[in-house]
Structure formats: structure tokens, C-alpha cells
Amino acid sequence: MNKIYKKLGINSSRTQNIAKHIGWSTLFKGGSILANFLLVPITIDYLDQENYGVWLTLSSFISWFSFFDIGLGNGLRNKFAEAKAIGDMKLAKAYVSSAYYTITFISLILVVLFLIANTYIDWTNVFNTDVSLQKDLSILMPVIVGFFGLQLVSKLITTIYTADQNHSLQGKIDFFTKLLSLIVVWFLTKTNDSSLLIFGIVFSVLPVIILIGLNFFAFSTKYKDYKPSIKLWKKEHIKDIMSVGISFFIIQIAAIVLFSTDNFIIIKLFGPTEVVPYNLAYKYYSILVMGYSIIIAPYWSSFTEAYTKGDLDWIKKSVKNIQKIWLLIPLGLIIMLILSKWFFKIWVGEEIKISLELSLAMILFVILMTYNMIFVNFINGTGKVKLQLITALISMTINIPLSILFVKVFHWGLSGVVLATCVSLGYSVILRPIQYKKIINKTATGIWNK
């Protein structure tokens, strides 16, 4: 590996670590993508198209709960990285302890409140589906939320690994979760009965088992010195984490509303079956988003460390390299568009149609999304996210009305929902590079530096 780094001109140990984890992440992410694509036709075969549409919408709904860590995860990521960068191991452990016990308390409250609310909710009305599913959904929803509560706590270990610049760990977990899910669902298809209830339980339990196992392993070996202790929980540590964490939390809520409400808009305006072509197009073109995120994601915590140590030259060089790599995205999208009909036919057959308009809208979305990611990772690493917070709230507010306008008034169909998201993202693509240049050139003042 040292010889390869030398030939590529990679001299910085920080960059070498990123390159190593990009390699591992590529391997595991590629496996996850393959497993995920194989999972789609098997799942549709097991559940049928309508129930699969319900599951996709239900998954989007439940994913909202993962952000009820009120930003503790991302706040811990920055603060743990900063504490390690200055060599304060005791402070790093205190941050870990405070985050773990606080999120445990939040999860308990969340699950209890949901159990109470569940008795009054008609889930068939929420998901616009057949009333025969009410019993299954009333059982399934508490199970899913209960395991998501456990996941909310147990996934903090991935934050610690990532903050410590072990960037490929999350990809490894995703791969094994997808692989196990694929195996289990394949076995389910060999049974005679189709059950949304059983399917949902499987997908809720598997990631939690893997994450809990990782927690026991990590705090017994590599991160033994950072094992959470209730004695180290302190209000001031939570305040430190939340100083940036609360902004991340609001940004995450805005992002989940922006990106996940599309399924709800579609299911209400078009019905559950139309969620499927939208998600198939999203999964297909998002391959490039996932691939690009493999390269981008490791830089967040590395930017935190470099910025804390004042290594601005490394940051500038890294951002330029990331921008050069981004130029491959439009080219890749053109190739994907050319191959799309052939790919969808092989993947899910000819029954489900993905229109050219929907594909073009998704391509625009991917271009905006990936370009935005270049600068967002740096801004997140520095913790100067107030401008991002404001723009995220604006985007969240205008997305749903724009979606309804484009569908109901302009009659743009499914592509109108995607274009509404593109419009909501558009102005951020201009603001993020401006903020990056101001921060890196030390000319940022006011909101640009908060």
C-alpha cells in the first residue's frame, strides 16, 4: 500500500487513511448495492406491488424516528474528534458516556409515547391501504419503533468509529445487514404465506442484533478506554455536544422532511403502486450518490481534525481533488440514462414502467445533491452550520407546496415531485461554495462563520 500511495503522490497519513477506508467502503458498499438490488424483485414477489409500496412508505416514516437523537450523534462525532485531536482522552470518554445515557433516556420516552399513541391511530388510513392490514400494522408499528429505539442507542458506536476516522465501518454494517436480509427474505419466499408483519419484524430485528454485537466487541477491545460510564455523565458535556448537535438535529429533521415526504405525497396523490416506480428510479440513479458518498464521507471527521490543527492547505487540496472527481458524475448519469430501459427490464421486468421524464428529473436531483455534498462535509466538519440550518428549514417548508403545485396545477406527474425537491435544493448549491471559500480564506463573518 505504501508503494501505491507513493506512485499516486499520496503523502499525508490522513489522506492515506482516507484512501484505505475508501477502498474498503467501495467493496462493502458495492456488496450492499448488489444485495439491495437483488432484494427488490424478491421482496415484490413476496409482498406484491401494493404491500411493497406500503413497506417503502412505512420505512420512510419510521426513518424519521432515527433523527430523534436530537443531533447527539453528529455532535458527538465532532466533539469526540476534537477531543482526540488535542489528546484529551478523558474528555472524549466523558462525551461518549454523556451521549449514550442521554440517548437511552430519549429512546425510552419515544417508545412509551408511541405505544400510547398507537392505540388511537388507524394506520390503514395513514398509508392509504386496505383495511384488512389494520391488525398487522397495529402490531408491526410498535415492534418497529421499539427496535428503532434500541437502534438509536446502539448505532452511536458507528459514530465513534467514524469520528476516529475508521470510515468504512458503517459500510461494513450495512453490507452484512443487507446480506442477512436478502437471505432471510429469500427463505420467506419459499413459504406459502405473504406477510407484511413478518417481513417488517425481520427488517427491524437484524440491524439491532448486529449493532448490539458491535457495541460489546468495540468496548471490550479497541474502545475499551471509552466504555460509557454513568459517573461521567455531565450536563456541561451534553451542552457542549448539543451546541452544534442541536443545529445538526434541526438540519436532519428538515432533510428527512425534504427527502422522505415524497413517498407520502405520491401515496396520497397517486396511490401506493406509484411509490414503486419512483423508488426504483431513485435507487437506480442514486447508485452514483452512494458511490460518491463513499469518497466524500470520510472527509468530514478528517476535516474536523485538520481544521482543529489549522492544516488549511490539506483541506484546500482535498476539496480540489473532490471537485475533480465530481466531474465524472454527469458522464456517469448519461451512461445510466442510455442503459436505463435495459436495466429496469432485467431488474424488475416490463410490468413496472419508469418514464423518461422521471429519469431526467432524478438525474437533475443527483447532480445537485452530489455537488452540494462537496462543501457540506467541510462545513459540517467545522461545525459552522447556522446558514445550512436556515436554508434547510426554507427547503423543508417549500418542498411539499411545490410538489402539490407541480402535480396538481402543472400536471407533471411523478417527475413533478422530484423537480420540487430539485428547486428546494437549488439555491443551496450556490451558497455552500461561497461559505467554504469565506471560511478557508478566513474572511467569514456573521452568519457565514456561525
Predicted confidence (pLDDT) at residue 132 exceeds the cutoff of 80: no
Question: Do 106 and 70 meet the contact criterion of CB atoms below 8 Å apart?
Answer: yes
Predicted confidence (pLDDT) at residue 4 exceeds the cutoff of 70: no
Which residue, among 83, 86, 14, has the nearest Cα to 299 in the 3D structure?
14
pLDDT, averaged across the chain: 83
Across 103-112, 268-277, 288-297, 430-439, the highest mean pLDDT is recorded for 430-439
Between 129 and 309, the higher pLDDT residue: 309
Amino acid at residue number 76 = L
Q: Give the tens place of pLDDT for each residue, 165-208.
A: 777 777 788 888 888 888 888 888 777 677 777 888 887 888 88
What value does the mean pLDDT take over residues 25-29?
A: 81
Banded pLDDT at 293 (limits 50, 70, 90): confident
What value does the mean pLDDT take over residues 52-64?
A: 71
Please compute, for residue 64, the number of CA atoms within 13 A of its CA located in the half-sphere on the CB side. 15
Question: Do 274 and 266 meet the contact criterion of CB atoms below 8 Å apart?
Answer: yes
Banded pLDDT at 141 (limits 50, 70, 90): confident
SS (H, E, C) 226-295: HCCCHHHCCHHHHHHHHHHHHHHHHHHHHHHHHHHHHHHHHHHHCCHHHHHHHHHHHHHHHHHHHHHHHH
Question: Do 267 and 125 meet the contact criterion of CB atoms below 8 Å apart?
Answer: no
- Residue 137: give the domain boundaries: 2-449
Predicted confidence (pLDDT) at residue 7 exceeds the cutoff of 60: no
Q: Give the tens place of pLDDT for each residue, 209-250.
A: 989 999 999 999 888 888 988 888 888 888 888 777 777 778
Q: What does the buried/exposed string (b/e) look like for 8-28 if buried means 16 or more CB atoms within 10 Å of the residue's CB?
A: eebebebbbebbbbbebbeeb
What value does the mean pLDDT take over residues 39-43?
A: 81
Predicted confidence (pLDDT) at residue 450 exceeds the cutoff of 60: yes
What value does the mean pLDDT take over residues 85-90?
A: 83
Please compute, for residue 218, the number of CA atoms within 13 A of its CA located in the half-sphere on the CB side. 23
User: What is the residue whose three cell numbers read 450518490?
Assistant: 289
Predicted confidence (pLDDT) at residue 16 exceeds the cutoff of 80: no
Residue 200, Cβ density class (10 Å: 0-12 exposed, 13-18 middle, ≥19 buried): buried
The pTM (predicted TM-score) of the whole model is 0.68
Least confident of 51-65, 98-112, 278-292, 371-385: 51-65
Q: Give the tens place of pLDDT for each residue, 239-257.
A: 888 777 777 778 877 877 7
The count of structural domains within the chain is 1
Q: Give the tens place of pLDDT for each residue, 306-360.
A: 888 888 888 998 898 889 889 999 999 999 999 998 988 888 777 778 889 999 9
What value does the mean pLDDT take over residues 36-52?
A: 78
Percentage of residues of the chain with pLDDT beyond 90: 16
Which residue, among 190, 184, 156, 185, has the nearest Cα to 170 in the 3D structure?
156
